[in-house]
Amino acid sequence: MRIALVFGVPWPGGGYYKKSCPRVEAIVRDEVKKFVYKNAGIGAGLIRMFFHDCFVEGCDASVLLDPTPANAQPEKLSPPNFPSLRGFEAIDAAKDAVEKACPGVVSCADIVAFASRDAAYFLSRMTVKINMPAGHLDGRISNFTQALFNLPPPFFNIIQLIASFAAKGLNTEDMVVLSGAHTIGVSHCSSFVSDRLAVASDINAALAGILRRQCPTNPTPANDPTVHQDVVTPNALDNQYYKNVLAHKVLFTSDAALLTTPATTQMVLDNANIRGPWETKFNKAMVKMGAIGVKTGNQGEIRRNCRAVNHY
């Protein structure tokens, strides 16, 4: 059986669940709004969760699965996700609310996709409106090692970044556009200290000084504080990230890498200096990412509990 992706609409009505669960998008939106307005960092986490889900086993909610005796090391425990990935409780709340309205109809993968869309909407002050497709089924495989292998780390250079995104069907511009999500959220010091502060780098001297006061020289699991990725507009999904890249005020090697080729440098300049187009491109890139590895038919299921595969 083949399930086609059908574009949902930003707000209630229409879309993939028009007949089977017509209020699903409104229900998810309302739950996400509660969490994002209480803590903007959860919204940043939901956008990142969608990316981390789609890059490993496709957009199938595999990142949500908890460890079990049969699978002690799922994706969520892998270093790219643990302990930094946030927003699981928001997905749980949305799933619970959706199940009350439409039991057994809406996949966790679609809830993750809708939640990322809604988080982007609220964090962008209602300017980013993603036409997120639905129709994803939930996967049954979640592998610690696959997360390590598929998720680009913060120390990647431009060649590695382009290759990592190309492997998922995303082009160089998609990579630059999606990197703009680093305009929100926080990072653990361990993600950048060793290759940005402990050695010579292009990082802005004033920012480096601030970060050295906030971060230990040798972060450990017991001493690994978080800092804002964007100190100018830390809770807003906007194009400030690209201005920070140009000013060398970004945390990761992978952020600074965007200035290492003429083509990506021009993309950064355009996104920094022209109002509006980045938001439109972000919409398209998120939709494109949502089509990675879609499971259909008996490849997947609709989980009753987003943290565990169904047991028949």
**Helix segments in 68-204, DSSP class H:** 88-101, 108-123, 144-150, 158-166, 172-179
Q: What is the pLDDT of residue 58?
A: 97
The pTM of the whole model exceeds 0.85: yes
Pair of tokens at residue 185? 């959220």
Banded pLDDT at 15 (limits 50, 70, 90): confident
- What's the whole-number average pLDDT of the chain? 93
Mean pLDDT of 2-29: 67
pLDDT digits (tens, 9 = 90+) for 114-153: 999 999 999 999 999 999 989 999 999 999 999 999 999 9
Q: How far is CA 197 from CA 88, 194, 200, in A?
A: 31, 6, 7
- Grouping H, G, I as helix, E, B as strand and the rest as coil, residue 253 is helix
Q: What is the pLDDT of residue 14?
A: 44
Q: What is the pLDDT of residue 4?
A: 39
Show the CA angle centred on residue 190, arms to residues 184 and 194, nearest 5°. Answer: 115
User: Taking every pair of C-alpha atoms in the chain, what is the biggest distance, in angstroms?
Assistant: 58
Q: What is the CATH number of the domain that holds 212?
A: 1.10.420.10
In percent, the amount of the chain with pLDDT more than 70 equals 95
Mean pLDDT of 190-214: 96
Comparing 300 with 14, which gets the higher pLDDT? Answer: 300
Whether 52 sits among the annotated catalytic residues: the reply is yes
Single out the residue of 303, 292, 228 nearest to residue 59, CA to CA: 292
**52 plus 136 within the same structural domain:** yes
Which structural domain, as residue segments, surrounds residue 216? Answer: 158-284
**145 plus 232 within the same structural domain:** no
Which entry of 52, 182, 228, 311 is annotated as an active-site residue? 52
Mean pLDDT of 169-191: 97
**277 plus 177 within the same structural domain:** yes
Q: What is the pLDDT of residue 247?
A: 98
Banded pLDDT at 191 (limits 50, 70, 90): very high
The residues pairing with 187 across neighbouring beta strands, listed in sequence order, are 227
| Main-chain dihedrals φ then ψ at residue 308, nearest 5 degrees | -150, 145
Q: What is the pLDDT of residue 7?
A: 38
**172 plus 246 within the same structural domain:** yes
Q: Measured between alpha carbons, how far is 311 from 304 in angstroms, rounded to an integer?
A: 10
Single out the residue of 59, 48, 40, 82 nearest to residue 180, CA to CA: 48
Overall number of domains in the chain: 2
Task: Please name the residues in contact with 302: beta carbons below 8 A apart, sequence gap of 6 or more.
Answer: 104, 105, 106, 107, 108, 137, 138
Task: Please name the residues in contact with 100: beta carbons below 8 A apart, sequence gap of 6 or more.
Answer: none
Q: What is the pLDDT of residue 276?
A: 77
Domain membership of residue 11 (yes or no) is: yes
- For residue 83, is the peptide bond before it cis, meaning its omega torsion is within 30 degrees of 0? yes
Banded pLDDT at 275 (limits 50, 70, 90): confident
Q: What is the CATH number of the domain that holds 66?
A: 1.10.520.10
| Main-chain dihedrals φ then ψ at residue 64, nearest 5 degrees | -85, -15
- Give residue 302's identity as a one-letter amino acid code: I
pLDDT digits (tens, 9 = 90+) for 33-48: 999 999 999 999 999 9
- Grouping H, G, I as helix, E, B as strand and the rest as coil, residue 187 is strand
Q: Measured between alpha carbons, how far is 294 from 3 in angstroms, rounded to an integer?
A: 9
pLDDT over threshold 70, residue 218 = yes
Q: Can you tell me which residue has the tokens 């020289």? A: 217
**231 plus 95 within the same structural domain:** no
**223 plus 141 within the same structural domain:** no
